[in-house]
Amino acid sequence: MTAQSVANKLGHAFTDAGLLRTALTHRSFGTPNNERLEFLGDGILDCVIAAALFHRFKDLAEGDLSRLRANLVRQDALHGLAADLKLGECLHLGEGELKTGGAQRPSILADALEALFGAIYLDAGFEAAQSAILKLYAPLLDAIKPGLAQKDAKTRLQEWLQGRKKALPRYQLLEASGAAHEQRFEVVCEIDSPPLRTLGQGQSRRIAEQVAADKALRELNA
């Protein structure tokens, strides 16, 4: 995965390639690095997600909206999205971080993704950054069910089965297709009892698994 491929997945073509490089440069590599861009991107992300939730969920109270936003912008959510982008493959890290697995460290990946949001803002303005964030977050926003928002579909499916003393579901990748920046994954979710098989598609295996799990839950609760 290259830096340009990551930018393509976010739907942005950088005018200033230096901003893209800086966003992917950890402080261990030297200066300039992405710390200031991460600060900027963090604020932009909060604003974009807050606005998206505000407009999507018109009946939710402030406290519920705040919890949803916190859930979406926390480190593990950012780490998952960064991992889907294979961001670790194009980070510039110092030798020490490379040797200790810095390219897979959740905090480093989460910070780099926020730095990318800040870099897009500086490169093309708020609307460009907003567009990139909403493109990346679309599956997570679409999956929100008020009242169940703190748990993803795979977790809820597992709890549904465990509560009925059933075997856990199995997920299997059926197909990965498309160019590197436009890949599509198809995953099957299989349950033994009750017998059920659902398919999910998405821009990453993780997203496809969540879609398949959500379909299984819908059928089980129908």
Confidence of residue 79 (pLDDT cuts 50, 70, 90): confident
Q: Report d(CA 101, CA 218) in Å as an integer.
A: 39
- pLDDT score of 148 more than 60: no
Confidence of residue 24 (pLDDT cuts 50, 70, 90): very high
> What integer is the mean pLDDT of 65-84?
87
* CATH 3.30.160.20, the chain: domain bounds: 153-220
DSSP 8-state assignment for residue 167: P
- Give 113 or 8, the one with higher predicted confidence: 113
- Pick the catalytic residue from 38, 97, 111, 114: 114
Report CA-CA distances (Å) from 174 to 33, 123, 204, 215. Answer: 39, 38, 12, 17
> CB count, 10 Å around CB of 81?
22
Contact present, 188 and 197 (Cβ < 8 Å): yes
Residue 42 is a catalytic residue: yes
- Pick the catalytic residue from 42, 111, 123, 209: 42
Q: Report d(CA 41, CA 126) in Å as an integer.
A: 11
Sheet containing strand 170-177, strands side by side: 170-177, 184-191, 196-202
Question: What are 67's two structure tokens?
Answer: 């919890």
pTM here is 0.69
Q: Report d(CA 110, CA 125) in Å as an integer.
A: 21
Question: What are 178's two structure tokens?
Answer: 């498309």
What's residue 180's pLDDT? 59
Q: Is 197 helix (H, G, I), strand (E, B) or coil?
A: strand
Confidence of residue 55 (pLDDT cuts 50, 70, 90): very high
- pLDDT score of 95 more than 50: yes
Q: Report d(CA 169, CA 212) in Å as an integer.
A: 11
32: phi then psi, degrees, rounded to nearest 5:
-70, 150
- Give 179 or 70, the one with higher predicted confidence: 70
Class of domain 153-220: alpha beta
Q: Report d(CA 12, CA 20) in Å as an integer.
A: 11
- pLDDT score of 150 more than 70: no
CATH superfamily of 3-142: Ribonuclease III domain (1.10.1520.10)
Residue 114 is a catalytic residue: yes
* CATH 1.10.1520.10, the chain: domain bounds: 3-142
